[in-house]
Amino acid sequence: MTIILDRAKDLEATATWHRVCPLDELELAWGEAALVAGRQVALFRTADGTVSAVAQQDPATLANVMARGIVGSRGSRPTIASPLHKEVYDLHTGECLTRPDLTLPTFATRLVDGYVEVEL
């Protein structure tokens, strides 16, 4: 158990922010794929003005397609539906709302001087 805790601390210590693109290059309610530090990430600019970042890889099929998903919401929760089998994920938590056995990795984002940055 100590190894797991130490590994978590190591991962936290090595997480860094990566500048990805200017905010104005992201269209509202449309996904864009980016290669960030060697990892495929899907970025979404939602109606509330926030930018969400999730793994580009669909957890159900392992295909790199999430940027082509359908942006929507469930109540006040912004969502992305996989373009392949339409599993619906919460954009903030990665929780799958249609299949509890699936989770979509999410990444922190921030805006710095008009640019979107993603933490990996």
Q: What are the pLDDT digits (tens) for 3-21? A: 333 334 444 456 799 999 9
Helical H segments across the chain, by residue range: 2-14
**pLDDT tens track for 29-66:** 999 999 999 999 999 999 888 999 999 999 999 999 99
Domains and CATH numbers, the chain: 17-119 (2.102.10.10)
3-class secondary structure, 50: coil
Helical H segments across 37-102, by residue range: none
Q: What integer best gives the mean pLDDT of the chain?
A: 90
Predicted TM-score of the model (pTM): 0.86
Between the CA of residue 83 and those of 58, 64, 106, what are the distances in Å? 9, 10, 18
**pLDDT tens track for 32-42:** 999 999 999 99
